[in-house]
Structure 1
């Protein structure tokens, strides 16, 4: 049963990530490279995935912060706010995106609904069509509970982006470790 579940989950993930448009991912990476400061944000389990990505951006040498950390600088023109929201409609996340937009930061959004309120604020968008709480995907029903598939795909999307950035910059596992906390 366990192995069968793993196979079914991997098929779901492959189906969702296989539909993500390469050009949108490359635009997202270009925005990361052009940003002075990067702030990442998402709610719930999506927030955990985006938080891990923010940490990895720091390991890559970018000035990256997770909203809620005590050292997040003010966001302004030239900065990038990366927002993840499966539905694109989460009120608190929308409010943060609106504040970023008001302060002239670029907004990069990863969502399952590009026509959402948050999607409409985006300067750069990656549409990842996985079912979420408020965004059902026609023809797709996950075997997994709630929005688990969306969260898994988001984590893997971010990990693939990290590999792309490493290739572009020549960063290695060893250089990333040099920027990792040594207080553990």
Structure 2
């Protein structure tokens, strides 16, 4: 097989996965983001890298975003939203942070693959990215890629889709977004 064959397999998986995400749950997540004063993000590993990109893109749209653990992270309040990225919903650090967010009456949204994970007890809103897990849940999208690559890719594109939805809803002039882009580079 060639590069073209492999990239086609990956793009087909990604397309199938994104088409399998419940549109109503995405619209509800967008509402949660819009009504929050601040939006915090937590995850680990490659998932956290995807979340960092989503936070940056939403910041370009004028949303106050913070990564849990960043040096300038403010206190979370009942007016805020924590977005947890965790495919399994069992990763220890995001679970602890979600619990703490709930103790401060913040809303918690979980983007993951497992709707019945331990994260469920702290979650106000769930968006399922139905990719292959160790649990072999119904309707999982299989992947030829290693480990959780399909989840991280889908998470990143989901974030860009949320951003585009916001742009269209608010009728934002795309060229004007450059004023929010980093300019110390």
Superposition TM-score tier, normalisation by shorter sequence:
over 0.9
Contact 2:42/2:67 (8 A) holds in 1: yes
CA deviation string 1:82-127 (max 9, x = no partner): 1110000001110011111111000011010111111331111101
Structure 2: how far apart are the matches of 1:19 and 1:175? 33
Contact 1:86/1:135 (8 A) holds in 2: no
CA deviation string 1:27-78 (max 9, x = no partner): 0000011001111111100000011101111110011111121111000101
Q: What's the offset of the Cα at 1:23?
A: 0.5
Q: What's the offset of the Cα at 1:140?
A: 4.2
TM-score, normalised on structure 2? 0.94
C-alpha RMSD of the superposition: 1.3
How many aligned positions are there? 183
1:154 maps to 155
Contact 1:86/1:131 (8 A) holds in 2: no
TM-score, normalised on structure 1? 0.94
Change (3 A) 1:75 1:135: farther
1:112 maps to 113
1:43 maps to 44
Contact 1:111/1:119 (8 A) holds in 2: no
Structure 2: how far apart are the matches of 1:16 and 1:67? 27
Contact 1:16/1:130 (8 A) holds in 2: yes
2:174 maps to 173
Structure 1: how far apart are the matches of 2:128 and 2:141? 15
